[in-house]
Amino acid sequence: MSDANARHLANEHDASDLAARVERFVRDVVIPYETDPRKGVHGPSDDLVTELRQKARAAGVLTPHIRPDGKHLSQRETAMVLKPSGLSPLGAIAVNTAAPDEGNIFLLGRAGTPMMKEKYLRPLIDGHTRSAFFMTEPNGAGSDPSLLRTTARREGNGWRIDGRKTLISGLVGATVGIIMAKTEEGATMFMVDLPDPAVRIERLLDTLDWSSPGGHAVVTIDDLRVPDDQILGAVGEGFKLAQVRLSPARLSHCMRWYGAATRANEIAIDYACRRTAFGKLLIDHEGVGFQLADNLIDLKQAELLIEWCADLLDSGASGTAESSMAKVAVSEGLCRVVDRCVQVMGGMGVTDDTVVAGIYRDIRAFRVYDGPTEVHKWSLAKKIKREFLGHQQAPGSGGKG
């Protein structure tokens, strides 16, 4: 065995041990908090988040995807630890693997200056602060980045940013934000300290999901002043940096929701194997047993897609199309899993007596967040057409050239 292969196996063994510790922590410590009254309609309170993270820190499982030396785990290793963090809707918050912080940590690690890493990245990794990512706008900019209307104009030694954003997750209580704005040179990302009076929350949206601290805000940005040294990357590189963040962030959503769907399926199996109807256990009725069998199939397909895409990203590929495929297939498959769990459990499945209904609400939103299924399919269809036409025009292809 080569030294490289030996190191790879050792790293996977370490990640497997860490994943087991994360799973024990979420099951033993976090799950009992699911009925805590500090979990409101706009997510858990900052007090609850702080308490959970203190316990994660003491257990040695806080921000498990970042090594002690500050380096990020491989995507395959990240999948090992993020999946169990999703077993509770509060799990990723507790161990600091939740969006948008997880994606912002990844981006700052890749593109942040030494000052940004010290000022913003370190506190995020340590779980002492939370962040927000300002991309989506009321006019549709988000799925269609060409609609970006928030502007950044040079003024003296800095910039003035004006615009509106929507569905900004985790803004209430966040201490740092990454704002995407349009400059003359193209889209640009800016680091901003929060709160700031120039960043005004118009309202918090009432959404299906309930596990994001700080909720999802509609925001007006009015005369926000940002110095030159707060530009992330370079002027005009906003879309390029968004691509750096995009594929891993899509995949980490898949990882966390895999854990959530697994938990819902466990609860549904327990229910079906204990509840009796028409003279036999529910699971012995084909209408129930077959649904749980379909769940195993969808869960395994999701697991394999996550690992396939993770390996691709670890090879150095951008994985733009592949992460779109994974995001579509995994979000649709896991939504089917949890929908079946609700159906198997009948009336109990639509109550909050178990966490299944809450997981269903969260995972239904996953089919929209980080790009709706239809947008990803449209993008993949464009890729299919582009490659077909390129092949047709290639010399010797038999097509028109």
- Per-residue pLDDT of 129-144, as tens digits, reads 999 999 999 987 777 8
Distance CA 148, CA 81 (A): 35
Every domain of the chain with CATH number 1.20.140.10 lies at 239-392
The pTM of the full predicted model, rounded to 2 decimals, is 0.93
Cα distance between residue 308 and residue 300, in whole Å: 12
pLDDT at 23 over 80: yes
Q: In 3D, which of 141, 147, 174, 178 has the Cα closest to residue 161? A: 178
**The domain 239-392: what is its CATH number?**
1.20.140.10
Tell whether domain 131-232 is in CATH 2.40.110.10. yes
Predicted local confidence at residue 376, as pLDDT: 95
Give helix then strand counts, H and E, for the chain: 12, 12
β-bridge mates for residue 225, sequence order: 160
Closest Cα partner for 260 from 365, 345, 173, 167?
Answer: 365
Q: What confidence tens digit (pLDDT) does each residue in 217-249 have?
A: 999 999 999 999 999 999 999 999 998 999 999
Kindly report the length of the chain. Answer: 401
What is the reported pLDDT for 5? 45
Percent of the chain whose pLDDT exceeds 90: 87
Supply the pLDDT for residue 395.
76
Residues of the chain with CATH 2.40.110.10: 131-232
The separation between CA 37 and the C-alpha centre of its own chain, rounded to angstroms, equals: 25
Paired residues of 73 in beta bridges: none
Average pLDDT over residues 286-297: 98
Tokens 């912080």 — which residue? 101
